[in-house]
Amino acid sequence: MTQRAIDSSGEQTPGRSLSEGAGPPAYDPRGLSTAEVAERVARGEVNDVPVRSSRSVTEIVRANVLTRFNLIIGVLWVIMLAVAPIQDSLFGFVIIANTGIGIVQEWRAKKTLDGLAVIGEAKPTVRRDGTAAEISVSAIVLGDLIELGPGDKVVVDGTLGEADNLEIDESLLTGEADPVIKRAGDAVMSGSFVVAGGGAFTATKVGREAYAVQLAEEASRFTLVESELRSGISTILKYVTWMMVPTAVGLVISQLVVKENDFKDSVARAAGGIVPMIPEGLVLLTSVAFAIGVIRLGRKQCLVQELPAIEGLARVDVVCLDKTGTLTEGGMDVTEVRPLGSADEAYVSRVLGALGGSDPRPNASLRAIVDAFPDPGGWRTTDTLPFSSARKYSGAAFREEDPRDGTGSTGTDSVWLLGAPDVLLPDGDPELASIEDLNEQGLRVLLLSRAKGALDGPDAAAGSVPTALVVLDQRLRPDAGETLRYFADQRVAAKVISGDNAVSVGAVAGKLGLAGAEHTLDARRLPAERDAMATAVEENTVFGRVTPQQKRNMVAALQSRGHTVAMTGDGVNDVLALKDADIGVSMGSGSEATRAVAQIVLLDNSFATLPSVVAEGRRVIGNITRVATLFLTKTVYSVLLAILVVCFQVEYPFLPRHLTLLSTLTIGVPAFFLALAPNKERAQPHFVRRVMRYAIPSGLIAGAATFLTYRLAGNHYSGAGALDAETSAATLTLFLVSMWVLAIIARPYTWWRILLVASMGVAFLIVLAVPWLQHFFALRLVGTTMPWAAVAVAAAASVLLEYVWRLVGRRFGA
């Protein structure tokens, strides 16, 4: 906890309760006393809204257990336990295991997210007993005096007691992009953030009474919604339900009524036809894949505030980078001060020291000046103008009371501005040429200028006298170049968008090896019309002098051209663009406002973590697409087999134990490993279409080949045990065809993928070879003619499968 003393003129007034009916708050610059805080805590007037970075354990269990497919399978399981041997009820135990795995993995992800959320939690500065200290948001009590500075988020509702050129952005609440100037006595609402200036406010509403609590809770909620992958799976499940219900009804009627079989055997075979229609493991496996992704990224200090962000960043084709804090480290160093005209270097140093001392919360540039030039003392600040990214300069007015001011007099008033030279200097000024040379070296240049008018004038910079150039060296992030090369290799366009001079930004990008860094554009020449702006943004790589609203417009322009845009940033001027981008990425050291709106927070401030997020998203999307094809192939051939059984009025070929064995060996176990495997394929849109164009023909071929073998075996075998022999032959064909589907999906082959496919085949051979396993699974190949015929049918089906997959691949470019 950091603390500092607060000077206060006037005496402390007793704090007042701000409960309903208590009237307007009493402002005390010293804040509450320890006794008053304890009193409010005892009354429960605490900001006790829980930080929700994940679902609760109860919600996790409910979401994984209470699904419609688990309900269907649960009912069938209970029925099977009553009418059939235990081996026909194995599918129920498999579902319990899968559900348990899903719960455990999401619980682990919850622990990871909760731990990271605590690390990245905002720490507002609160005055108590005249001392300012950082506390957790949940420790704020009613009536607390909370300080505000640039980039701070307003965490509870309140009334301003102090306002120093305070500008607050309420766009997250109202949608209005323009900052609102606030004065003492004005209300501030939670969810807004400070753009410029500073102040302090008294908390009037805390906890669930605060205006934006629901907004804040939803923004940090662990969720799997609004994702193409998740919505695509939901769409698939909807279609499956439509197919499953009428098919299952027909199958049950066929087995119970038409064939007039033994009741228990009919129920078992009807259940055997219904259970494999349900791709229940697909939903669970997707949840597990996402949860493991959260855990993996959490180990790299990456907080995923909205889970679809993992998927979203994998689809990104344009990433917009803010230079400061992303390509460069936050710190800077003053390398040179060049007095202009007749300015005295010693006097310039004292002005810079006074400017540094006038801002209680200096930005990175001013922090470098503070480190280089100590406060001269004797300079009383009479007015300040905080830095604004729209204005591009800051300023302060002083009463110089130091006799060493260079003039031999005391009591001199002066107004100074510090900011962008190309903003403070008129076009054509001769100094701009030398500044351009410095910018081309990647150096940052600020102009110290003496203003002729007051700071609060409509244009304080008009007619100001240039006094000195301050040259700053920016520290490049050592990992930024490698990260930019990664994006280039992955065909993701990188756009550097900065409020700094375009030439300087281009030089920095060039040092890092960014392709196209020479294509720089001053945003003041950027066309306002969206289509023209989109063309300019697509054609250029580096943009300087970009205002916050322009950043937002540039993101929208790229999105209008069909691009999926990610935006990185750490400053308050990035908030609007971060909010509008498809994926917002904030640095952990960034302002509270940027962390609040970003979907991904890099807690270790390492730009090099982004490739890991992209890779994790591609792994999840690519692998789930693969395994979804496996699951839905099973659904298609199960529905087809049921339809054929009803049409031909024959017994269903399989018992649940057969399909449990097949599903485990050709789908369940392989899908688990394939879903967690490395995968660098670029994410493609239209998930449902891409999965179904492979799953439908594969399922039709597998179902048709299986039913053909079943009918051939029915004509070949007769007498007692004929049905078991027919089922065994059909099972062999279905296993071999399903294995070929698995072998196709496992490509490109690696040693472990070959081992995975081979081990599944060996496991099936063991079942056929070991007598007690043969009995347990009711599998017995009789003779040699029909088993080899089953193999031949499977071989022909596999050749057809290979042809269809290649044809689909050529047709759709997959």
The position carrying tokens 């197919």 is 243
| End-to-end CA gap in the chain | 55
Total number of residues shown for the chain:
814
Angle at 184 between CA 134 and CA 359, to 5 degrees: 55
Characterize 28-60 residue by residue with b for buried, 16 or more Cβ atoms within 10 angstroms of its Cβ, and e for exposed: bbbbbbeebbebbeeeebbbebebbbbbeeeeb
Distance CA(167)–CA(150), nearest Å, equals: 9
The position carrying tokens 């990214």 is 389
Strands (E), 366-482: 379-385, 393-400, 412-419, 444-450, 465-476
Please say if the pLDDT value at position 231 is more than 60.
Answer: yes
Angle at 271 between CA 265 and CA 277, to 5 degrees: 150
Q: In what order do the strands lie in the sheet with 393-400?
A: 328-339, 465-476, 444-450, 412-419, 393-400, 379-385
| Contact present, 509 and 544 (Cβ < 8 Å) | no
Q: Given its phi and psi angles, is residue 15 left (phi above 0), alpha (psi -120 to 50 degrees) or beta? A: beta
| Contact present, 639 and 762 (Cβ < 8 Å) | no
pTM reported for the whole predicted model: 0.67
CATH number of the structural domain 328-476: 3.40.1110.10
Question: Which residue, among 739, 737, 735, 741, has the nearest Cα to 768 in the 3D structure?
Answer: 735
Cβ neighbour number for residue 211 with a 10 Å cutoff: 18
Q: Which two tokens stand for residue 320?
A: 């917009």
Best CATH choice for the domain 302-327+477-605 from the list 3.40.50.1000, 3.60.15.10, 3.30.540.10, 3.40.630.10: 3.40.50.1000
Per-residue pLDDT, averaged over 70-88, amounts to 74
pLDDT band at 49 (very low <50, low <70, confident <90, very high): low
Distance CA(589)–CA(567), nearest Å, equals: 16
Amino acid identity, residue 137? V
Strand partners, 497: 543
CA distances from 694 to 44, 593, 690, 805 (A): 59, 45, 7, 7
pLDDT tens per residue across span 567-610: 988 766 677 788 888 888 888 776 666 777 788 888 887 778 88
pLDDT tens per residue across span 400-435: 765 554 444 456 788 899 988 888 888 878 888 888
Q: Which two tokens stand for residue 120?
A: 């990245």
- Determine which one of 28, 322, 422, 582 is catalytic: 322
182-191, 212-221, 291-300: least confidently modelled range: 212-221
Please say if the pLDDT value at position 759 is more than 90.
Answer: yes
Q: Rounded to 5 degrees, what are φ and ψ at 413?
A: -95, 140
pLDDT band at 51 (very low <50, low <70, confident <90, very high): low
Per-residue pLDDT, averaged over 751-758, amounts to 94
Distance CA(543)–CA(504), nearest Å, equals: 10
Please say if the pLDDT value at position 8 is more than 60.
Answer: no
pLDDT band at 621 (very low <50, low <70, confident <90, very high): confident
Q: Which two tokens stand for residue 103?
A: 């719960």
Angle at 598 between CA 141 and CA 611, to 5 degrees: 135
Distance CA(124)–CA(141), nearest Å, equals: 12
| Contact present, 326 and 569 (Cβ < 8 Å) | yes
Characterize 164-186 residue by residue with b for buried, 16 or more Cβ atoms within 10 angstroms of its Cβ, and e for exposed: bbbbbbbbbeeeeeebbebeeeb
Please say if the pLDDT value at position 357 is more than 80.
Answer: yes
107-121, 594-608, 800-814: least confidently modelled range: 107-121
Please say if the pLDDT value at position 499 is more than 60.
Answer: yes
Domain 230-280+614-812 coded CATH 3.30.460.10: no
Please say if the pLDDT value at position 796 is more than 90.
Answer: yes
Sign, CA dihedral 131-136-141-146, equals: positive
Question: Which residue, among 305, 259, 275, has the nearest Cα to 579 in the 3D structure?
Answer: 305
The residue extents of the domains of the chain are 230-280+614-812, 302-327+477-605, 328-476
Amino acid identity, residue 537? V
The position carrying tokens 């400061």 is 324
Average confidence score pLDDT of the chain: 80
* pLDDT the model gives residue 91: 67
| Contact present, 435 and 421 (Cβ < 8 Å) | yes
Question: Which residue, among 476, 376, 371, has the nearest Cα to 416 in the 3D structure?
Answer: 376
pLDDT band at 385 (very low <50, low <70, confident <90, very high): confident
Number of H helices, E strands in the chain: 28, 22
pLDDT band at 218 (very low <50, low <70, confident <90, very high): very low
* pLDDT the model gives residue 756: 94
Distance CA(710)–CA(699), nearest Å, equals: 16
pLDDT band at 381 (very low <50, low <70, confident <90, very high): confident
The position carrying tokens 């299952």 is 248
42-46, 137-141, 212-216, 229-233: least confidently modelled range: 212-216
46-50, 210-214, 537-541: least confidently modelled range: 210-214
**Cα atoms in the Cβ-side hemisphere of radius 13 Å centred on 341:** 10
Please say if the pLDDT value at position 182 is more than 50.
Answer: yes
Q: Which of 122-126, 224-228, 492-496 has the highest mean pLDDT?
A: 492-496
Strands (E), 677-764: none
* pLDDT the model gives residue 763: 94
Quick check: is 152 catalytic? no
Please say if the pLDDT value at position 557 is more than 90.
Answer: yes
Distance CA(198)–CA(209), nearest Å, equals: 25
Q: Which two tokens stand for residue 634?
A: 């099973």
Which residues touch 491 (CB under 8 Å, ≥6 apart)?
317, 682
The position carrying tokens 């005096």 is 145
| Contact present, 306 and 55 (Cβ < 8 Å) | no
DSSP assignment of 579-629 equals HHSSEEEEETTS-HHHHHH-SEEETT--GGGHHHHHHHHHHHHHHHHHHHH
The position carrying tokens 């670029």 is 682
The 3-state DSSP class for residue 511 equals helix
| Contact present, 638 and 631 (Cβ < 8 Å) | no
| Contact present, 180 and 170 (Cβ < 8 Å) | yes
* pLDDT the model gives residue 4: 40
**Three-state secondary structure readout of 375-397:** CCCCEEEEEEECCCCCCCEEEEE
Per-residue pLDDT, averaged over 751-780, amounts to 91
* pLDDT the model gives residue 307: 65
| Contact present, 30 and 161 (Cβ < 8 Å) | no
Please say if the pLDDT value at position 17 is more than 50.
Answer: no
Per-residue pLDDT, averaged over 755-772, amounts to 93
Question: Which residue, among 135, 132, 146, 123, has the nearest Cα to 25 in the 3D structure?
Answer: 146
Q: What percent of the chain has pLDDT over 70?
A: 84
Q: Which two tokens stand for residue 559?
A: 């999105």
Question: Which residue, among 319, 237, 331, has the nearest Cα to 280 in the 3D structure?
Answer: 237
DSSP state of 100: H
The 3-state DSSP class for residue 447 equals strand
Question: Which residue, among 264, 272, 265, has the nearest Cα to 248 in the 3D structure?
Answer: 272
Distance CA(710)–CA(731), nearest Å, equals: 9
Sign, CA dihedral 176-177-178-184, equals: positive
* pLDDT the model gives residue 341: 82
Characterize 598-636 residue by residue with b for buried, 16 or more Cβ atoms within 10 angstroms of its Cβ, and e for exposed: bbbbbbebbbbbbbbbbbbbbbbbbbbbbbbbbbbbbbb
CA distances from 120 to 123, 148, 291, 519 (A): 9, 18, 20, 36
Distance CA(277)–CA(377), nearest Å, equals: 81
